[in-house]
Structure 1
Amino acid sequence: MTETSTISAAQTPDPGPGFQRKVLGLPQFTGGFVIALCAQVLGAIVYFIGLRPDPLKVALSRGGSVASTPSPAGGFTLLRTVPAARRAVLVVALSHAVMVGVMSMTPVHLTTHGATLSVVGLTISLHVAGMYALSPVFGWLADRLGRAATVLVDQALFAVALVLTWLGADHQGLVLAALILLGLGWSASTVSGSTMVTESVATHDRPGLQGTSDLTMNLCGAAGGALAGPVLALVGFSGLGLVALVLVAITTVTAMRSLRSGSDTPNPAEA
Structure 2
Amino acid sequence: MVLGQLLAGAGLAAGVTVGALLAEDLLGGPGLSGLPSALFTGGSALAAIAVGRLSQARGRRPGLAAGFAFGALGAVGIVAATALESLPLLFAAFVVYGSGTATNLQARYAGADLATPERRGRALSYVLLGTTAGAVAGPNLVGPTGVVAESVGLAPLAGPFLLAAVAYGGAALVISLFLRPDPLLEARRREGAAVGAAATSSSSASSSALSADGTHSDPGMTAPTPPAPARVWTGEVLTGVAVMALTQFVMVGLMTMTPVHMRAHDHAVTVVGLVISLHVAAMFLPAPLSGFLVDKFGTRRVAVSAGLVLLLAGGLAALAPPESTLLVSAALILLGLGWSLGLVSGTTVLTTSVPTSVRATVQGQADVAVALSGAAGGLLSGLVFAWIDFRGLGFTLAALSLIVVAAVRPRRARTPA
TM-score by length of 1: 0.78
Indicate yes or no: 2:125 matched with 1:18.
no
1:179 and 1:128 mapped to 2: Cα distance? 9
Indicate yes or no: 2:406 matched with 1:253.
yes
- Report 1:153-164 matches (<5 A): 153-164=305-316
What is residue 195 of structure 2 aligned with on the other side?
Answer: 65
Percent identity over the alignment is 40
Contact kept, 8 Å, 2:188 with 2:357, in 1: the verdict is yes
Per-residue CA deviation, residues 211-252 of structure 1 (Å, 9 max, x unaligned), is 111111111100110011111122221211222123311111
What is residue 240 of structure 2 aligned with on the other side?
Answer: 88
Indicate yes or no: 2:345 matched with 1:192.
yes
* 1:95 to partner: Cα distance: 0.7
* 1:78 to partner: Cα distance: 4.2
* 1:55 to partner: Cα distance: 1.9
* 1:25 to partner: Cα distance: 5.1
1:261 and 1:35 mapped to 2: Cα distance? 49
1:173 and 1:229 mapped to 2: Cα distance? 23
1:41/1:242 Cα in 2 relative to 1: closer, same or farther (>3 Å)? same
- Report 1:126-205 matches (<5 A): 126-170=278-322, 171-205=324-358
1:72 and 1:246 mapped to 2: Cα distance? 40
What is residue 208 of structure 1 aligned with on the other side?
Answer: 361
1:36/1:72 Cα in 2 relative to 1: closer, same or farther (>3 Å)? farther
Contact kept, 8 Å, 2:313 with 2:398, in 1: the verdict is no
1:149 and 1:39 mapped to 2: Cα distance? 36
Per-residue CA deviation, residues 148-197 of structure 1 (Å, 9 max, x unaligned), is 22222222221211110121153332111101111122122212211112
What is residue 54 of structure 1 aligned with on the other side?
Answer: 182
1:212 and 1:115 mapped to 2: Cα distance? 39
Per-residue CA deviation, residues 14-47 of structure 1 (Å, 9 max, x unaligned), is x99923434x554323221122222212222232
Indicate yes or no: 2:274 matched with 1:122.
yes
Residue aligned with 2:155, SS:
coil
Higher RCO (CA-CA < 8 Å; seq separation 6+): 1
What is residue 39 of structure 1 aligned with on the other side?
Answer: 167
Question: Residue 181 of structure 1 aligns to which amino acid in structure 2?
Answer: L
Question: Residue 190 of structure 1 aligns to which amino acid in structure 2?
Answer: L
2:274 and 2:395 mapped to 1: Cα distance? 24
1:47 and 1:19 mapped to 2: Cα distance? 28
Deviates more, 1:56-65 or 1:92-101: 56-65
What is residue 241 of structure 1 aligned with on the other side?
Answer: 394
Gaps of 5+ in 2: 1-142, 197-227
Contact kept, 8 Å, 1:169 with 1:238, in 2: the verdict is no
1:84 and 1:144 mapped to 2: Cα distance? 18
- Name the Cα RMSD after superposition: 2.6
What is residue 265 of structure 2 aligned with on the other side?
Answer: 113
Contact kept, 8 Å, 1:169 with 1:237, in 2: the verdict is no
Contact kept, 8 Å, 2:310 with 2:334, in 1: the verdict is yes
Residue aligned with 1:94, SS:
helix
Residue aligned with 1:204, SS:
coil
1:139/1:46 Cα in 2 relative to 1: closer, same or farther (>3 Å)? farther
* 1:114 to partner: Cα distance: 2.3
2:361 and 2:399 mapped to 1: Cα distance? 29
1:181 and 1:150 mapped to 2: Cα distance? 15
What is residue 30 of structure 1 aligned with on the other side?
Answer: 158
Per-residue CA deviation, residues 123-149 of structure 1 (Å, 9 max, x unaligned), is 111111212222222222221222222
Indicate yes or no: 2:369 matched with 1:229.
no
TM-score by length of 2: 0.52
Contact kept, 8 Å, 2:308 with 2:402, in 1: the verdict is no
What is residue 253 of structure 2 aligned with on the other side?
Answer: 101
2:339 and 2:171 mapped to 1: Cα distance? 21
Question: Residue 204 of structure 1 aligns to which amino acid in structure 2?
Answer: S
Question: Residue 184 of structure 1 aligns to which amino acid in structure 2?
Answer: L
Q: Compare CA radii of gyration and give the structure with the larger one.
A: 2
